[in-house]
Amino acid sequence: MDEDLTALVVSDARERMAKAVEHTQAEFAGIRTGRATPAVVEHLRVDYYGAETELRQLAGFSVPEARLLVITPYDKGAMGAIEKALQSSDLGITPSNDGAVIRLSFPVPTEERRKELVKVVRQKAEDGRVSVRNLRRTARHELEALLKDGELSSDEVERVEKELDRITHDQVAAIDRLLAHKEQELLEI
């Protein structure tokens, strides 16, 4: 019985922490490095015939050059709505429309802009770390409640807390690796 409860708490915490790391990685993907990548625009909301729809459901993406993103709408009637959504987004890039595809040409970010983006990425990484640590705290509260109810022994709680600490450390290290990679990507010219 003890092992079932602790395994449940640990697996739940591990799963939630992994999702927090995935979320942080998704946040990083949305930060523009000067390279063209569909991740920058695929979650952009487009007013498609009165319904808010993600751009990735309305168009295909290709990157023929490092700084050029080509968006090919599945429905040519959506071209205007997609272009309008891109212009009103916070990308700071003016789309060019040739009637068949929309091209986004990504300028090389200035050194000052790259340093700003590094600060943003570091903040998102810290948010991810805090999220992982909060999940550890939640799991510990669950264990303490089980100890208080007499369903777990203090030795068992201590053993599981060490395991939670190890999992937390691994997930924070994963966020740190993602951060180092993203910083390197941002500071490249």
The span from the CA of 137 to the CA of 139, in Å, is 5
The residues of the chain that CATH labels 1.10.132.20 are 2-30+110-187
User: What pLDDT is stored for residue 154 in this prediction?
Assistant: 87
pLDDT tens track of the chain, all 189 residues?
557 888 888 999 999 999 999 999 988 887 766 677 787 888 888 888 888 988 889 899 988 888 888 999 998 888 888 988 888 887 778 888 888 899 988 877 788 888 888 898 999 999 999 999 999 999 999 999 988 988 888 888 899 999 999 999 999 999 999 999 999 888 875
| Three-state secondary structure call for residue 104 | strand
The residues of the chain that CATH labels 3.30.1360.40 are 38-105
CATH class for the region spanning 38-105: alpha beta
CATH of domain 2-30+110-187: 1.10.132.20
* Residue 183, token pair as written in the block: 């910083």
**Helix residue spans in 30-153 (DSSP H):** 79-88, 111-148
